Amino acid sequence: MEIILAGYNLDNETINQLVSGEEVSPEALTPETISAAYARISRDSRPVNELRAVAREDVAKAKKSAKTIVFGLGHHSVAEHAVFNFDVLGVSRLAIEALEQHRIGVGFTEKSQRYITLDGDYVMPTEFTADERELFNQLVGEQNDFYFKVLPELERYQREANPEMWKDRNERRTLQGWAKEDARYVLSLATEGQLGYTANARALEHTLRRLKHHHLAEVRDLGERLYEKAKEVAPSLIILADEELFLEAQGGTLEDKFFEKGRTDRIEATENLLRRMDFGNKSPRLVKGRVVNVEGNDPDIAIMAALIYESSKPKFSYSEAMAISDLAFPHEREGYIGDVLKNLGKFDSVPREFEMGKMVFDLIVSSSCYAQLKRHRLCTQLVGDYNPELGVVVPESIEAIGRKGDFLDLVGGKTGEFYRKIQENHPENPRLGEYGLTNAHQRQVLVGMNMRELYHFSRLREDAHAQWDIRETAKAMSIGAKELAPATTMLLGGKHEFDKIKERVYR
């Protein structure tokens, strides 16, 4: 693992001094001066550029001011003005997923297993015993061997199945990408990856507190290294990530119990409830459901009411707008939404009022599919552990080249056996065995998504250029949404078919 502080924001006057060759104090090379200056805006009448100059002139005072305002007065938002960029290398897919759970105030650009041919590197968990390491090396070695063996076979399959595309250089790269996409389903979640990670100080601090109590040692190590790098340039803005710094700054003990025990508390509370209600011995039904209709929720009515509320003159109250929407016949709702969206283009977002329509999707997705689903960070995603009992996803191309049996023997058989052995050996760490699982293994994800986000998701993931696994999931979600809300989903679909959909709706 290697963490490099790639960059951070500085006051522009400081940058100009550096460019012109002027001597600059090392203490001034920090984003803390910007945060400190902006923190004073609400309480100091001087122009903000003067406040920045004051902060640059006395950096020590600026840092003290930042501590007081951010942590003493509770104005954590000013920490968002400090931004850090990190190169993150040599970490597993599992660790990357843990880092990427934070949704707001961050940016991620990840090395793609879909476009880059991998070289077989993987992370060895420090929690494994010597015997487990030997078994793990053998398992991952077989998985990687299978990847390199089927990759040329899959390329040949794509070439033979799409001869015209193969003749074109750009289209050929697409076919080679498809081969890599499908070959990667056999790779383990321990496979090494890298990413560029950007976070403002407030988001970084929250992420560091969460990673510090993670069940995997690799993830805890990742958090510690990120903290050490950020601490070098802006210690005053990430105090909640360090108990000693917090004690020094605030004179009290940092309460971190919710980060440490919150997940365990939820599990125990759920177990106790199910036991009291006599559901403790029942096996859950692992149904690959798509849309859950929340009782009393009708997205068509909620969205129509929001549109009426925002656009009516004189303005109706929202309750009145809801009553009007509820009284409208289905064809009147469809006609109204059609009028609202008549000038919508394929690259346009639907109006913000569509955020009032809420849907919940109960999904079972492969790791490969989840790698794309997780990018949609504005929706709510409650993510379960990877679970071999949910089965595995086998790409159609693997079956087409006659490798389905070999794939299932390795991914469903040997990999499942290794996972169960690790589970038995480490009951205190129920996710440790996931290092051996693959991109084909599945997890349950409960997705809360408003209609505006669903339109964005559908346009991108149902498009003809989308990867087949996420495309199938997006199509199933759209089908469920159209059953629940036929009026407001009338233009739902991939970008490539938008014109045809619109022509059908308005003919």
What are the tens digits of pLDDT across the range 298-340?
999 999 999 999 988 878 898 999 999 999 999 999 999 999 9
Mean pLDDT for all residues in the chain: 88
The string over 443-470, giving b where at least 16 C-beta atoms fall within 10 Å of a residue's C-beta and e elsewhere, is bbbebebbbbbbbbbbbbbbbeebbebb
Average pLDDT over residues 45-59: 84
Positive/negative CA dihedral, 128, 134, 140, 143: negative
User: How far is Cα 20 from Cα 471, in angstroms, rounded to an integer?
Assistant: 52
**Domain presence at residue 66:** yes
Average pLDDT over residues 409-434: 94
pLDDT value, residue 264: 78
Which three-class secondary structure string do you get for 334-377? Answer: HHHHHHHCCCCCCCCCCCHHHHHCEEEEEEEEEHHHHHHHCCCC
**Domain presence at residue 21:** yes
Report the share of the chain in percent with pLDDT over 90: 60
**Domain presence at residue 18:** yes
**Domain presence at residue 297:** no
pLDDT value, residue 496: 93
pLDDT value, residue 238: 79
**Domain presence at residue 129:** no
**Is residue 92 within 8 Å of 214, Cβ to Cβ?**
no
Asked whether residue 292 carries a pLDDT value surpassing 70, the answer given is no
pLDDT value, residue 229: 95
**Domain presence at residue 55:** yes
Asked whether residue 120 carries a pLDDT value surpassing 90, the answer given is no
Asked whether residue 247 carries a pLDDT value surpassing 80, the answer given is no
Bigger pLDDT: 75 or 413?
413
Query: Edge-to-edge strand order for the sheet containing 442-450?
Result: 358-366, 442-450, 380-386
Picking from 231-235, 265-269, 444-448, which range would have the lowest pLDDT averaged per residue?
Answer: 265-269
Over the stretch 190-227, which tens digit does the pLDDT of each residue have?
999 999 999 999 999 889 988 998 999 999 999 999 99
**Domain presence at residue 51:** yes
**Domain presence at residue 119:** no
According to DSSP, the residues that pair with 3 across neighbouring strands are 88
Domain count, the chain: 1
pLDDT value, residue 71: 55
Per-residue pLDDT band at 85 (split at 50, 70, 90): very high
Domain of 54, in residue numbers: 2-30+32-81
